[in-house]
Amino acid sequence: MTHVTGFAKVVSGEPLELEDSVAISVLFANGAMGTLNGGSWGPSVMNGPEYSKEMYSFLRYGFSVWGEKGAIHVDMQGGLGGNIIKDLQYEGPVQPIPTTRLTHRTNHPLLVQRWEAKLPPADRMGVMIQESLDYIRGNGPPPIANDAGLKMLKFQHAVYKATETGETQQLL
């Protein structure tokens, strides 16, 4: 990722120290673009009598990446599973283009192939905590490499800066 812009804020009105909603757009070095969106409910909803797993399933968050040859879309559906869709363009068989006085050529029409899969439900936080504890005890690798963690922190702080300033941030 080379640039990021967007918003990360507390919009629920709850006295939270961490954002409960994000809307982020990124630009990649190869020209591809992506979006990430997510949200949550504050403690008053999560601990309320009407809260249920079914309500949780309606919290939509996920990401999409668009590039020169297609797109990938992931809908995480509140950690209850979700969908991943990949649309890739490819060239179809040669089709003649009407001849003009200046040119005579053929064209390969672009077609789209779709691939879809269901993501299993996951307790991502529980997995991360368990892998972290295993690493601390010397029973496995760290759940994330140091350089990847540092990149994530730089990305996160760039999102916060974009939220504060309203300006796209360049990632170094």
pLDDT of 68: 85
Overall pTM > 0.75: no
pLDDT of 10: 84
- Count of positions (residues) in the chain: 172
C-alpha angle 58-124-138 in degrees, rounded to nearest 5: 175
Furthest-apart CA pair in the chain: how many Å? 76
pLDDT of 98: 54
pLDDT of 81: 64
Backbone angles phi, psi at 155, to 5 degrees: -60, -45
Query: In 3D, which of 86, 85, 90 has the Cα closest to residue 111?
Result: 90
Whether residue 117 contacts residue 84, with contact meaning beta carbons closer than 8 Å, is answered with: yes
Distance, CA of 43 to CA of 47 (rounded, Å) = 6
Distance, CA of 171 to CA of 59 (rounded, Å) = 29
pLDDT along the chain (172 residues), means of 10: 92 78 93 88 64 64 86 74 80 58 55 81 76 93 90 93 95 86
Q: What share of the chain is helix, strand, coil (3-state, %, to 5)?
A: 25, 35, 40
Whether residue 64 contacts residue 76, with contact meaning beta carbons closer than 8 Å, is answered with: no
pLDDT of 104: 46
pLDDT of 32: 93
